């Protein structure tokens, strides 16, 4: 009886937490009337948590030469979006990196039309996400790298950096994103990692546990930027969806696409494996948006399907599934 009551309360708690998160996203200032005034960009304000994606719309009835945003030294290309029953305009997806420090930052948008340039200024409130702390035990040689492995890792990091550096001009993605593997999501995006007792880089994606050989699908249309076989991430595919949006799929047992291939949303690009540094078969799914590492699951929640909601913040969906202890899936 007591147990059932407790379960009910915890469910209620969770509902309240979700409600508060949603409220703070929409009304960040009004909720705390006694808080010191926050400087306002003259054109308004957005707010979101570390790892989330903000959808920003600039209503413009006419086509212009270019609409480009700048946020924390990242360039955000805007694209023309026409939806029946809505004012025409330009849309931009602003990613908040999982390690952007909480605070208020300016998002500027330059609207260029021929020689004429007009600027808009918004404030973006970045709120702290409560990331978990994970303790992992791994083979010593996968944590304390010898000189050769360290040199290899550095080279691979550079290869990845170059592959993700550009904002391809063509938008290939569309509004329907696909979950690449139907498996057990671990909910450890952004988690602080302590490996064999030593603090390491936070986890920059989401892990999905699934049996070895399970199909892995591309989350949206794109072009395969590179396929890799790296020390930590194992066999991997990086898909360029255009306008600086990249998705990554790591630890694969098999890769079934080649560099430069065009892929469709839902198309199989490889199979789940445990290559690289992994404690069991799983997919590591990562997303980079104009240089920001965001929670890939925010893509599935983008408010595009039933019409666009201007000013929406995409809250990270709650994790219902906890990884099974008998099959830890990490890295
Ligand atoms: Zn991972």
Q: pTM (2 decimals)?
A: 0.80
- Residues lining ion ligand 1 (Cβ < 5 A) are 207, 284, 331
Are the beta carbons of 106 and 146 closer than 8 angstroms?
no
Find the 232 Cα to ligand 1 centroid distance in Å: 10
Measure the CA–CA gap between 18 and 216, rounded to whole angstroms: 30
Q: Are strands 215-217 and 192-195 parallel, antiparallel or unpaired?
A: unpaired
**CB under 8 Å to 202, separation ≥6 — which residues?**
98, 99, 131, 190, 191, 192, 193
Q: How far apart are CA 19 and CA 124, in angstroms?
A: 21
Report the phi/psi class of residue 183: left, alpha or beta, with left for phi > 0 and alpha for psi in -120 to 50.
beta
Mean pLDDT of the chain: 84
Q: Is the pLDDT of residue 11 over 60?
A: no
Q: State in Å: Cα 94 to ligand 1 middle.
A: 23
For residues 270 and 227, what is the distance between their CA atoms, to the nearest angstrom?
11
**166 pLDDT tier (thresholds 50, 70, 90):** confident
Span between the terminal Cα atoms of the chain, in Å: 40
CA of 188 to the centre of ligand 1 (A): 8
CA dihedral 14, 18, 23, 28 (to 10 degrees): 100
Ligand 1 centre to CA of 277 (Å) is 9
**Token output for 229:** 């076989």
Using CA atoms of 32, 34, 35, 39 in order, give the dihedral in degrees to the nearest 10.
Answer: 100
Ligand 1 centroid–CA 328 distance in Å is: 11
Per-residue pLDDT averaged across 239-266, rounded?
Answer: 97
Q: Which residues contact 285 (CB under 8 A, 6 or more apart)?
A: 180, 181, 205, 206, 207, 208, 219, 247, 248, 249, 296
Strands 215-217 and 254-255: unpaired
Check whether 1 has a pLDDT greater than 50.
Answer: no
| Distance from the alpha carbon of residue 249 to the mean position of ligand 1, in angstroms | 9
Q: What is the pLDDT of residue 6?
A: 53
Highest mean pLDDT among 196-200, 227-231, 301-305 belongs to 227-231
In the reported structure, the alpha carbon of residue 326 is separated from the centroid of ligand 1 by a whole-number distance in angstroms of 17
Q: Give the Å distance between the CA of 315 and the centre of ligand 1.
A: 21
């Amino acid at each position: 009886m007591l147990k059932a009551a407790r379960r009910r309360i915890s469910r209620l708690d969770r509902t309240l937490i979700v409600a508060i998160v949603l409220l703070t996203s929409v009304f960040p200032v009004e909720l705390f009337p006694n808080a010191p005034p926050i400087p306002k960009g003259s054109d308004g304000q957005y707010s979101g948590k570390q790892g989330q994606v903000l959808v920003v719309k600039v209503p413009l009835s006419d086509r212009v030469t270019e609409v480009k945003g700048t946020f924390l030294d990242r360039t955000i290309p805007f694209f023309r979006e026409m939806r029946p029953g809505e004012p025409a305009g330009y849309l931009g997806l602003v990613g908040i990196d999982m390690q952007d420090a909480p605070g208020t930052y300016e998002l500027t948008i330059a609207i260029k039309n021929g020689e004429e340039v007009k600027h808009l200024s918004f404030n973006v409130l970045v709120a702290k996400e409560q990331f978990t702390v994970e303790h992992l035990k791994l083979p010593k040689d996968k944590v304390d790298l010898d000189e050769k492995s360290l040199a290899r890792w550095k080279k691979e990091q550079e290869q990845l950096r170059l592959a993700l550096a550009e904002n391809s001009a063509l938008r290939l993605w569309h509004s329907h994103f696909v979950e690449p593997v139907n498996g057990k999501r671990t909910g450890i995006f952004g988690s602080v990692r302590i490996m064999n007792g030593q603090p390491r880089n936070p986890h920059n994606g989401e892990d999905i546990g699934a049996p070895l050989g399970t199909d892995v699908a591309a989350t949206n249309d794109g072009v395969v930027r590179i396929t890799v076989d790296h020390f930590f991430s194992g066999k991997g595919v990086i898909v360029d969806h255009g306008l600086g949006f990249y998705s990554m799929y790591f630890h694969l047992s098999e890769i079934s696409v080649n560099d430069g291939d065009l892929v469709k949303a839902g198309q199989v690009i490889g199979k789940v494996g445990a290559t690289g540094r992994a404690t069991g078969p799983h997919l590591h799914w990562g997303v980079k948006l104009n240089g920001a590492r965001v929670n890939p699951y925010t893509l599935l929640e983008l408010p595009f399907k039933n019409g666009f909601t201007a000013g929406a913040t995409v809250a990270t969906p709650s994790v219902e599934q906890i990884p099974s202890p008998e099959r830890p899936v990490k890295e």
